[in-house]
Amino acid sequence: MRLLVKYEGLIILLAATVILRLPSLFEPYWYGDEQIYLAISQGVRKGLVLYRDITDYPNKPPLIYLLAAAAGSVFWFKFMLLMWNAMHVVVVNLLLKKLWGEKKWLVWGGSGAFILLTSLPMLEGNIANGEMFMSMPVTLAMLLLWKAQYSAAGLMLALGFLFKIPVAADIAAAGLIFWVCRHSFKGIISFGLGLAVPIAVVVGIWYGMGVAPIDLVKNMLGSSGYVTNYPLAPRLILVTGLSLGVYLMRKKLGQELVWAGLWLMWALLGATLSGRPYPHYFIQIVVPVIVTVGAMLTGKEKRLKVIVGGIGLALVAVTLVTLKVKPYPVMAYYANFGKWVAGQRVFSDYVASFDRRMPRNYELAYYLKTHTGPGERIYIWGNQPDVYVMAERLPVGKLVTSFHVEDLQAYAATMEWLNHDPPAYVVMMADEPRGFEELKYWVDQYYVETDTIGEAKVYKKL
């Protein structure tokens, strides 16, 4: 009983997290990124080598795929996310207590704000994306860095990086924080080893599976091509200049705001690498924003702190407006779930509310699963990786969507894969805008149309 009383506040926070995330456990197989992770990881579960035998584009580092492989289904993937986010709540609470333990309103208010921003669907916190997984070890790394546990901090940043590349910006922030606030040569060596060893181990493991280190690095840095859509140099110059300003004012600003300000600016750079307006990218800046607000409101020189912290927050606001980032609706999400639970909405209508194609995809997956054996492969020309997952069947070739084929200009490679290992069934989506005339001609020669399910034409091998 004493334990319950001692941790009463944290228990309430965790209970709120679970309640807000409960509807996410019952979402259908609808979100593209999740289904790509699950489709690729299905191949990993069946013995394929990630990056060599089945791959993504742009690729992410391996941990998101390995986590999806451990999950195996959207329910367990979402459940893992719930548990991961609950751990993140604990880490954020510990961080805020370490910084401002005597100011309970700041500790608990900041923790509550974190739960709302990452558990509600406004920033796609309900989706098992890389940002949701990478941000927890980054927060833990910053806490460990503050506590001068350098090796462990480096290890956590490596863990975050092995989920998604934008953590490189957080690593840069940590390096600057170390330089500005912690002048310890022995510490920087420990930090560097903690950062480098896990990444080197991953490179070694994949090398042992036949993926050359240079190819692995190219795969892991696949998303770097997105940067060309939004010039990096001007942003890098701006962030570097602001970092210099923070450094010059470090004595007046205090260690907390120097630390928070550097983290916020570099995390914002990481969140905007692609210049795309997807809300989940901005999960990366949630904790730095909360810590920056806290640092503005505490200690001496409050006027200067409010000005400097305000510049950082204004930069966030300008970025969100410039990129036209639109949060996802919240009330409609929970109302939809409530109607389904209350029996006011049938399952087909419930899944269609996420994506109108869902009822068709469920039906198509059931058809393919019942008309093929577990070892047979299928091929879908379209962007329905969820069908592979629900049907529990692998695609022919390395790619799981038509836009991967187009982005990589892998049309010839795809035909080579199909000729080498013809699938039991081919599905041509009539609503797929990308053309592939050679595939249509090949299907007409070697397959016969057996069914039409919505916009999906199903062909069986002769």
27 and 169 fall within a common domain = yes
417 and 298 fall within a common domain = no
pLDDT in the model for residue 302: 78
CA distance 457 to 24: 31
In a domain? residue 158: yes
Residue ending a domain, choose from 300, 322, 344:
322
In a domain? residue 208: yes
Confidence of residue 386 (pLDDT cuts 50, 70, 90): very high
pLDDT in the model for residue 452: 97
190 and 316 fall within a common domain = yes
312 and 360 fall within a common domain = no
pLDDT (tens digit per residue) in 322-336: 999 999 999 999 999
pLDDT in the model for residue 37: 97
295 and 404 fall within a common domain = no
Q: Strand 425-429's sheet: what is its strand order?
A: 378-381, 425-429, 456-461, 447-453
363 and 312 fall within a common domain = no
In a domain? residue 351: no
CB 9 within 8 A of CB 3: no
Residue 453, beta-bridge partner list: 456
Instruction: Look at residue 266 and tell me whether its pLDDT is greater than 80.
Output: yes
pLDDT (tens digit per residue) in 120-152: 999 999 999 999 999 999 999 999 999 999 999
In a domain? residue 345: no
Instruction: Look at residue 75 and tell me whether its pLDDT is greater than 80.
Output: yes
Q: Which two tokens stand for residue 395?
A: 């695609």
315 and 190 fall within a common domain = yes
Domain count, the chain: 2
297 and 407 fall within a common domain = no
User: Can you tell me the mean pLDDT for 213-223?
Assistant: 66
Confidence of residue 277 (pLDDT cuts 50, 70, 90): very high
117 and 192 fall within a common domain = yes
Q: Which domain holds residue 241?
A: 2-322
Within 10 Å of residue 348's Cβ, how many Cβ atoms? Answer: 13
The residue whose two tokens read 């058809």 is: 367
139 and 278 fall within a common domain = yes
Residue 456, beta-bridge partner list: 429, 453
362 and 427 fall within a common domain = yes
Mean pLDDT of the chain: 93
